[in-house]
Amino acid sequence: MENLKVTAIKYGAYRMEKKFYDYEPGGIISQPIWGALIQGAGRNILVDTGLEYNLEWLNKNALPTTIEEDEIFENALAKAGGITPNDVDIVINTHMHYDHIGNNRLVKNALFYVSQREYQIAFAPMKCQAKLYENTHHLFDERAVDPFAWRFVTGITDVAPGVRIIPTPGHTDGHMSVFVKTAEGTLCVSGDAVNLIEALENRYINKFHSSIPDCYRSYDVILDNAVCILPGHEPSLQKFQSSDFPRIDGFRR
């Protein structure tokens, strides 16, 4: 089986207070929104579709947001892998917050993988998470994705040779991460199971979660199954990075 290529795709960035995390409150930080394009064996697999290009809505209803020209969905796919949205074979939504599913509607020929639990939560979220799902149904309901294109995940699932989904709840009850066989070893595209590399290294949990115990268990799942990581909002990553992702094989205590 060939090793797969993973390219980091930046879908924009928002500004937020660092006190969102449980450590070192210290002013405003910029948080990139990362997805990933997995290519190999004749497949184009996309992990998360980022922010809808609607800055007026984002800045009014979410956080102060910027999206640069090469971060617009179609432009980012072209630069990351020389493809268009119609060339994507599979989309894996780690979860269904607005900053991870914003361009599902532009991908017309793919199968969409999401956890069954996450799909249920998106239509009936717990109160503390409602804001990240409300007023965004058009990004994931039948207006965005053909109902027959969904594939609902209930456990560990191999979606292609070398690409495995493993549930990593905690940020949301239905969150899942993607593990990919690469030339550098198994890479975890973590979504928001790990926002920042320092959070995993120091076992910090941010203030937005559905279950703290689940967050810690998901950290262990990631450390048990991967040697490097592409965290969901890590500032040190570079646009279109495709190698030298942060190592985590030394984080076990």
* pLDDT tens-place string over residues 127-141: 777 777 878 888 999
Taking 70 as the pLDDT cut, the residues of the chain under it are: 1, 18-26, 253
Q: DSSP letters along 118-167, please?
A: HHHHHHS--GGGGGGTTT-GGGTSTTTS-GGGEEEE-S-EEEETTEEEEE
CB neighbour burial string for 144-176, b if at least 16 within 10 angstroms, e if fewer: bbeeeebbebeeebebbebbbbbbbbbbbbbbb
Q: What is the pLDDT of residue 20?
A: 66
**Amino acid 253: pLDDT:** 62
What is the pTM (predicted TM-score) of this model? 0.94
Q: What are the structural domains, with CATH classification, of the chain?
A: 5-231 (3.60.15.10)
pLDDT of residue 134: 78
> What SS3 class is residue 57?
helix
pLDDT on residue 15 = 84
Write down the pLDDT at residue 16: 80
The tokens describing 161, both together, are 């040779």
**Cα separation of 136 and 95, whole Å?**
13
The pLDDT tens digits of the residues spanning 142-189 come to: 999 999 999 999 999 999 999 999 999 999 999 999 999 999 999 999
For residue 80, report the phi and psi dihedrals to the nearest 5 degrees. -70, -40
